[in-house]
Structure formats: structure tokens, C-alpha cells
Structure 1
Amino acid sequence: MSEVQLIRSMKGLTVLVTGAGSGMGRATAQVFAAEGANVAVTDLPGTPIEDIAAELRARGLSAQAWPLDVSDADAIKAVVNDVAVHFGSLDSVVNNAGISAFCPIDDDDAYEGIWNRAVTILLTAHQRIIRAALPHLRKSAAPRIVNIASTEALGATSRDSPYAAAKAGVTGLTRALAVELGREGITVNCICPGPIRTGMTANVPEGDKETYAHRRTALRRYGLPEEVAHMTLSLCLPAASFLTGVTIPVDGGLMARNA
């Protein structure tokens, strides 16, 4: 490994970010673009991905939008290929797209549907995107995969078994693929965000946020999407070449705190 390869720059490298229309995904696209990466901004049709990409281009940065429903296997293959063709490479994949999936285990009317949707979007989509990206990642000098899970994969909340199970599956997928792909120099890591100010937490009253953060986190506050995005960036740098198979909580010390 030469010193030239061990650089802390994303300039000229291409990253695909799912769920980039809001929250952590949007922040991730912005952070990577600001660091010189070519950014594929993907999210559901109807989300403001075109505006996000246009805003980045207006700042002289490299970004393009692709509508993508990650529950659609054929769409994943088409978009991943289009991204690699458009930018001439694909070096990093950030599996960020997600949904909330809470339901009591004994809700016979809703549980099965919520479970299936959670597994499809939060877990199955990850492996589909990785599989579609592999031919392109194998051509990269700095191939990186980052899967976004949740601290709910490490310690659950009542009535969130579909979400917690799917997110725990992401941590297992990360370890397994890190081992399988390591011989090719492809790193696979996982981030578990804790309480972050995103669309999923927007409806939580501020007072409840403050109480929860004070009781549960070491830093006594909710995190910002950008704080997660910067950890994601760190894992995708060419210099991050000997870190793989890890799950990193970005949670303000939530998992570290007993009392």
C-alpha cells in the first residue's frame, strides 16, 4: 500500500447515497460533495433530490439525482449501473434509506405487513445494492461500503421488533460481507446512529427530546445529521483501508451509559 493511496480526500471518487432526499442521507450527500466526491443523490420519486443535486452543482460541486425506490430490485440494478456510467466509476456505496417500523407483536392485522416492509427496505435492499455495485467497486482503488443501521440493533425499544430485527440483520450482513470481500480490499462497515434530529424524530416534542437525551446520552443532547455524515465520510476515505467489519455507534454515548 503506497502513501499515495492512503489519502484523506474523496476528490474524483464516486459515492452513491440512498435515502438522500432528507435527514442523514441529505447531509451525507452534502458532506461528500463538499469533499470533492461525485455524488449520486438517490431517493424515492417525489423527494427533493433534483433540488439537492442542483444546489450542490450551483456551488461548483459534482452531483446528480436519480429517483430510486429501494424496494424495487430492477430499479436498483438500473440506477447503480447508470451512476457508474455517468460518473465513470463507483467507489463507495452508502446504504442509508430507511423507514420507521413499529408495531406490537400481537397486532394480527398489521404486524406481518410491517415486518415484510421493514425487512425489504432496511435489509434486503442493502444486499441488492451491494450486489449491483460489486462489479464497479471491484474496479476501484478505494472500494467502500457503509451500511446505516441504528442503535435499535444493539438495544431495542418496546414494539419495534420489525425495525430492530432488520437493523440487527444489517450488522450481521456487514460482518459477513467484510469477511467475504476483504480479500479483494473492499471494506464493509456499519454505523448505528442514536437519537438524531431527522424526519423520523421531528414529531417528538422538544421537551421529550431533552428529557430523553439528558437521561440516556453522555452528551445530553440529540445529534445532528451532519455528525453522522462525517463518520460515514471517514469510513469511505482511501486512508480508511484497514478498518472493516465494524459497527460504530454514533449516539452521543447512549450505548456507553448505564446511569
Structure 2
Amino acid sequence: MSDATSDFKQLSRSVAGSRVLVTGAASGMGRATARVFAAEGAVVAVTDLALADAERVAADIRARGDHATAWALDVADGDAISRVVGEIADKFGGLDIVINNAGVSGTSPIDGDGYDALWQRSIALLLTAHPRIIRAALPHLRKARHPRIVNIASTEALGATALHSPYSAAKAGVVGLTRSLAVELGREGITVNCICPGPITTGMTARISDEHKAIYAKRRTALGRYGDPEEVAHMTLSLCLPAASFLTGAIIPVDGGLMARNA
């Protein structure tokens, strides 16, 4: 009789030593993601628009005994992306994981005076930046043992809110990009997945009063509350585990059940 244990394939759930690039890592979900990966033993590139902001997060991570380095990165600048991704790969000796998290928000009616500017800014920062970063990182990901790409979209890509059409359109583009690249890069073992956060307590939602947050969460989500950035970060981590090798092209809402609820 064969040993039943011989059929069990042990898969690693550790990202220790992985080299990780996180955009928009100075606050909110990006900061939580950088901290979570570093706490799990990864070496993290903390990038954000202002170097001082990125360095505060990296310094906090290092103070905990973990590994992080800060870079200034404007994800709307294609030349800066090529340069910074190259610098990160050179310093870290490669790149294993890319987390496209950087984002902005804004509202405008379709016929508003500022609509065109908001549209261009939203598409540049929330969508065009993603393939640019992936293209710059791809030569390094192709050399990685467990290459992973995670794009952060939004539940606004799955169901829309009035006055958010530039944001919703950009995030829907991220969903399409994720699926297409998952198919394109799958044969190379590079997984590409997407997280769609719902109502999360971040700087972007800070302008909403606690009272209105509570009303909205109880009315719209199954769990009856806003999520924490760390709850999104841990899902991101799960997608990047070596054991997550057969998961690609997934669009995962982390939304407290918002998209599951009809009424």
C-alpha cells in the first residue's frame, strides 16, 4: 500500500526574502501593504510621490527590525518609472512582486468644468501607470522564482457611484488589464490578480464623517462596517504567496460583502 502522505505536495506560504515594489506606499492601503510584507520577511521598496513621506514609512518599518527602502516616484511620469524600477532592482538584486496601489480620487459631473482635467489625471495615475510599471518590472519578474503582480482597483469598477465616472472608468480598465495580462503572462508563471477594495478607512475616506460611514456601512455591507487597510493588505499578501501559484486573473472584492448584498 502506498503512503498517502507521499501524495501531499507541500507549498510554501512564506514571502521571506522576496523583493517587493509597492506604489503609493506612504499612506492608507499602500502603507499597510508595505508593513505587512516587511513583517513577513520581504524586502520592500516603499514608493510615493514625496520622498519624505515614503521615507517616514520605510524608517518605521526599519525601526521594527524589518527591511525597507524609500524612493520618490510619480507614477504619471513614464521616465521616472523606468529609472526607479531599475534602481530598485539593482539595489535589491532583482524584483519578485509588484503591487500597483497608487491612486487618487475626485468627483465631477460629466458636464462639469473640471471634468476633462479630472479624466486625464485619473486615467494617467490609476490606469496608464499600471502597464508602465509592469513593463519596467517584467525583465526582473521573468527571472524571479515566484513572480507576482497585484493591481489594486475598486468596487467602483464593479458597480458605480454618480459623479465618479473618471475613477470608475479607470478602475474598470485595471480589471480588464489584469485579466488580459494574466492570460498573456500565464505561460511564464507570472500571476496577475486584482483586488477591488470597498469602503476602507483611509485618507481618501477621511472627509466622510464617522456618522455617515456607519450609516452607509450598515445599509450596504454584509459586515456592517468599514474595513481597515490591513485587511486589504493581508489579501494582497495571500495572492503573492508561493503557494498561490494556480491563482491568476482573479478579481477579488475586499468589501465586507458590499457587492454580495442586494438590499
With the length of structure 2 as denominator, give the TM-score of the two structures.
0.95
- Aligned twin of 1:230: 234
Q: Are 1:149 and 1:190, in contact at CA under 8 Å, matched by a contact in 2? A: yes
Matched, 1:151 2:155: yes
Q: What amino acid is aligned across from residue 29 of structure 1 in structure 2?
A: A
- Which residues of structure 1 form unaligned runs of 5+? none
Deviation at 1:31, TM superposition (A): 0.1
Deviation at 1:3, TM superposition (A): 5.1
Q: How does 1:170-189 map to 2 (within 5 A)?
A: 170-189=174-193
- Which residues of structure 2 form unaligned runs of 5+? 1-7
Deviations 1:239-259 (A, max 9, x none): 110000010000000000011
- Aligned twin of 1:52: 57
Matched, 1:198 2:202: yes
Q: Which runs of 4+ in 1 moved over 4 A?
A: none
Which of 75, 92, 97 pairs up with 1:92?
97
Find the aligned partners of 2:19 and 2:89 in 1 and give their Cα distance: 8
Deviation at 1:46, TM superposition (A): 5.2
- Aligned twin of 1:118: 122
Find the aligned partners of 2:72 and 2:179 in 1 and give their Cα distance: 29
What secondary structure is seen at the aligned counterpart in 2 of 1:48? helix
Deviations 1:13-46 (A, max 9, x none): 1110000000000000000000000000000115
Q: What amino acid is aligned across from residue 202 of structure 1 in structure 2?
A: A
- Aligned twin of 2:169: 165
Find the aligned partners of 1:199 and 1:55 in 2 and give their Cα distance: 19
Which of 11, 22, 31 pairs up with 2:27?
22
What secondary structure is seen at the aligned counterpart in 2 of 1:213? helix
Find the aligned partners of 1:175 and 1:222 in 2 and give their Cα distance: 27
Matched, 1:41 2:46: yes
Find the aligned partners of 1:42 and 1:122 in 2 and give their Cα distance: 15
Over the aligned positions, Cα root-mean-square deviation in angstroms equals: 1.1
Deviation at 1:47, TM superposition (A): 5.0
Q: Are 2:51 and 2:70, in contact at CA under 8 Å, matched by a contact in 1? A: no
Q: Are 1:13 and 1:89, in contact at CA under 8 Å, matched by a contact in 2? A: no
- Aligned twin of 1:65: 70
Find the aligned partners of 2:93 and 2:15 in 1 and give their Cα distance: 15
Go from structure 1 to structure 2 and tell me whether the alpha carbon gap of 1:167 and 1:8 turns closer, same or farther (over 3 Å shift). same
- Aligned twin of 2:80: 75
Find the aligned partners of 1:46 and 1:87 in 2 and give their Cα distance: 18
Q: Are 2:51 and 2:71, in contact at CA under 8 Å, matched by a contact in 1? A: no
With the length of structure 1 as denominator, give the TM-score of the two structures.
0.97
- Percent identical among aligned pairs is 71
- Aligned twin of 1:132: 136
Q: Are 1:143 and 1:185, in contact at CA under 8 Å, matched by a contact in 2? A: yes
Find the aligned partners of 1:51 and 1:169 in 2 and give their Cα distance: 32
Deviation at 1:101, TM superposition (A): 2.6
Q: What amino acid is aligned across from residue 140 of structure 1 in structure 2?
A: A
Deviation at 1:51, TM superposition (A): 1.5
Deviation at 1:161, TM superposition (A): 0.4
Find the aligned partners of 1:213 and 1:167 in 2 and give their Cα distance: 21
Find the aligned partners of 1:245 and 1:147 in 2 and give their Cα distance: 11
Q: What amino acid is aligned across from residue 30 of structure 1 in structure 2?
A: R
What secondary structure is seen at the aligned counterpart in 1 of 2:230? helix
Deviation at 1:125, TM superposition (A): 0.1
- Aligned twin of 2:13: 8
Q: Are 1:115 and 1:162, in contact at CA under 8 Å, matched by a contact in 2? A: yes
Q: What amino acid is aligned across from residue 138 of structure 1 in structure 2?
A: R
